[in-house]
Chain A
């Protein structure tokens, strides 16, 4: 119930294409679903996040789609650029006051490579 499953493990996309990364979770107590971007030698950086009361959130070229009934959420990167090449992690967290609070449960990561 603690797991967040992420796919694919790696993804190669042409410049200008759409990158899609998917995640699934089990624990219905989760109520915060962020995506992090990590470059080599750096810590993860928050990219975009969603709460379960909305089905989609868009920030620039990045969009999260959220399906509460299926317990799935995905990251779409439109017009992918070589500078987007990084490892992407989905995560989930419960309310800070609950026993799942204060900790992020991460997916295994997706290594994205955008070819020029």
Chain B
């Protein structure tokens, strides 16, 4: 069974640009969550999607947005990139029947220069 797949693995963007990251959950998983990981702030929750609806959102500015498609694949977008957005962005998926038990992907390493 394939795990959570995130693409691309690495990205370098310039300040002010926008970026889109992609996440393919484990087959059959309908819940997808996104997290930002930095050395200073650790792992912070961005948002969760279930059946194409955003169910929960973390404390991030509106420049961070996401969406989920009917096949459960998810994308997150960051507009007007700032240097502080450099981080590892992690996606996690969960089966609808499992109350918990999130499985994480290996992440996308975003560097803003």
Contacts and interface: CB of A to CB of B under 8 A. Distances in A.
Main secondary structure of the interface of B (DSSP, over half): strand
Contact of B50 (A43, A49, A95, A102): A102
B75 interface: no
B104 A101 contact: no
B2 interface: no
Interface in A72-111: 89, 91, 93, 95-96, 99, 101-109
Contacts of A89: 42-43
B99 A46 contact: no
A60 interface: no
A43 B56 contact: no
Given A46-B101, A95-B99, A103 B42 contact: no
Interface in A19-64: 32, 34, 36, 41-46, 49
B33 A43 contact: no
B45 A105 contact: yes
Interface string B1-16: 0001000000000000
Main secondary structure of the interface of A (DSSP, over half): loop
A103 B33 contact: yes
B99 to A, nearest CB: 5
B99 A96 contact: yes
A50 to B, nearest CB: 11
Contacts of A95: 99
B42 A43 contact: no
A103 B43 contact: no
B99 A44 contact: no
A43 B102 contact: no
Contacts of B107: 43
Contacts of A46: 101-103
In the A-B complex, the 10 residue pairs with the smallest Cβ-Cβ separation, listed nearest first, are: A43-B104, A102-B48, A106-B43, A103-B45, A102-B56, A32-B100, A43-B106, A108-B42, A44-B104, A43-B90
Interface of A: 32, 34, 36, 41-46, 49, 89, 91, 93, 95-96, 99, 101-109
